[in-house]
């Protein structure tokens, strides 16, 4: 299979759908002539023109509202948030309108809208540009929230997102835009609501999503050297949420560590831990451990940013605790 970077896989998906369906258009700040801050849309304006790749003013509420209107009237817009933090300016359009129009209309009006962009940290963008908002958006019915980690899933899930008739919050791993992986040729989709078993194991289940998944794979390698077989689960999808894969894994390993970049309180990891407690309590041999980002605004300094997010050592230590192997 061809090898692509994460950003190339996203670009490929959008270009293919724009060729297939004239109702697909792109909107966002600097996505056209400049090619996007992260070069995800690089070259698309040359191919499709400025009527379909639209450089917008710096006004997230305005262009998100415009995209919402487009979606309600038969188009399939894709909005880029330069970072997901900027979506705070468009929260009213996303939550009060996009998430509720289908419900308000009794299903008569659909909102096939994709809002995409980099989520989380790891690239030294400091406190106002480094939020992890999957738990925030995952709270609201009416929208779907996904977080692919591999180039394969980035393309397949983007194709699924564009074809969906509901608003999609598409959270990309900004720190992994240059990461490479195999991507099948031709048309394929990756379904929402289905987790990926990134590595099979028998002794402990490690669960995360986004850029934390490669970290879990490193932890699994570390634990393997200690005679521990760790299973790694990539959630892929926050809403809808795959409880079956998680519960089946915990029933096999009897132990779980849930890892996230976002803050611990009121989070995705909290929900995963609750699902395990509700559906696999009798299978647990230890309490579920959670490893989260530090309860501080994200630092800019690289050494402090690294300290503020989960590390191999922190996650491995949590795994040892549930295995009762702590030193």
In a domain, 78, yes or no: yes
Domain tally, the chain: 2
* Torsions phi, psi for 195 (to 5 deg): -70, 165
Verify that 177 and 218 share a domain, yes or no: no
**Cα three-residue angle 80-115-268, rounded to 5 degrees:** 120
Mapped onto helix, strand or coil, the DSSP state of residue 155 is helix
pLDDT tier at 5 (50, 70, 90 boundaries)? very high
Does the active-site annotation cover 224? no
Verify that 31 and 79 share a domain, yes or no: yes
pLDDT tier at 327 (50, 70, 90 boundaries)? low
Q: Choosing from 60, 80, 134, 271, which is the catalytic residue?
A: 60
Verify that 90 and 232 share a domain, yes or no: no
Mapped onto helix, strand or coil, the DSSP state of residue 184 is coil
**Owning domain of residue 128:** 3-182
Contact predicate 102/111, CB 8 Å: yes
Q: What is the DSSP letter of 312?
A: H
Residue 324 pLDDT > 70, yes or no?
yes
Verify that 88 and 13 share a domain, yes or no: yes
Residue 228 pLDDT > 80, yes or no?
yes
- Average pLDDT, integer, range 105-130: 89
pLDDT tier at 103 (50, 70, 90 boundaries)? very high
121-135 pLDDT tens trace? 877 787 888 889 999
Verify that 212 and 312 share a domain, yes or no: yes
Contact predicate 113/98, CB 8 Å: yes
Q: What distance in Å separates the CA atoms of residue 187 and residue 156, rounded to the nearest whole number?
A: 8
In a domain, 303, yes or no: yes
Does the active-site annotation cover 129? yes
154-169 pLDDT tens trace? 999 999 999 999 999 9
Q: What distance in Å separates the CA atoms of residue 312 and residue 288, rounded to the nearest whole number?
A: 18
Q: Choosing from 8, 38, 80, 129, which is the catalytic residue?
A: 129
Verify that 155 and 113 share a domain, yes or no: yes
CATH number at residue 229: 3.40.50.920
CATH number at residue 101: 3.40.50.970
How much is the pLDDT for 206? 98
Verify that 314 and 270 share a domain, yes or no: yes
How much is the pLDDT for 239? 96
Verify that 146 and 171 share a domain, yes or no: yes
């Amino acid at each position: 299979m061809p090898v692509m970077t994460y950003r190339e896989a996203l670009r490929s998906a959008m270009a293919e759908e724009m060729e297939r369906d004239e109702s697909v258009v792109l909107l966002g700040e600097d996505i056209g002539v400049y090619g996007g801050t992260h070069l995800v849309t690089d070259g698309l304006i040359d191919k499709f023109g400025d009527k379909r790749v639209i450089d917008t003013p710096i006004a997230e509420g305005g262009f998100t509202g415009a995209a919402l209107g487009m979606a309600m009237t038969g188009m399939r817009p894709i909005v880029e948030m330069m970072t997901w933090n900027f979506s705070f300016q468009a929260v009213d359009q996303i939550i009060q309108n996009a998430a509720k129009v289908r419900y308000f209309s009794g299903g008569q009006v659909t909102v096939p809208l994709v809002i995409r962009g980099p989520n989380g940290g790891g690239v030294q963008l400091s406190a106002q540009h480094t939020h992890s908002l999957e738990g925030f958006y995952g709270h609201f019915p009416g929208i779907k929230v996904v977080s692919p980690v591999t180039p394969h899933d980035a393309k397949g899930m983007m194709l699924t997102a564009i074809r969906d008739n509901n608003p999609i919050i598409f959270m990309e791993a900004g720190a992994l835009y240059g990461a490479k992986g195999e991507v099948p040729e031709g048309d394929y989709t990756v379904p929402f609501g289905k987790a990926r078993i990134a590595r099979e194991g028998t002794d402990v289940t490690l669960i995360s999503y986004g850029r934390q998944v490669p970290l879990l794979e490193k932890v699994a390698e570390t634990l393997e050297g200690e005679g521990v077989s760790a299973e790694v689960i990539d959630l892929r999808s926050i809403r809808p949420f795959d409880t079956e894969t998680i519960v089946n894994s915990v029933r096999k390993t009897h132990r779980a560590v849930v890892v996230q970049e976002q803050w611990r309180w009121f989070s995705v990891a909290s929900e995963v831990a609750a699902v395990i407690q509700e559906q696999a309590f009798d299978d647990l041999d230890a309490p579920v451990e959670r490893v989260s980002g530090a309860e501080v605004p994200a630092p800019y300094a690289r050494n402090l940013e690294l300290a503020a997010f989960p590390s191999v050592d922190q996650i491995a230590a949590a795994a040892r605790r549930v295995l009762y192997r702590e030193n």
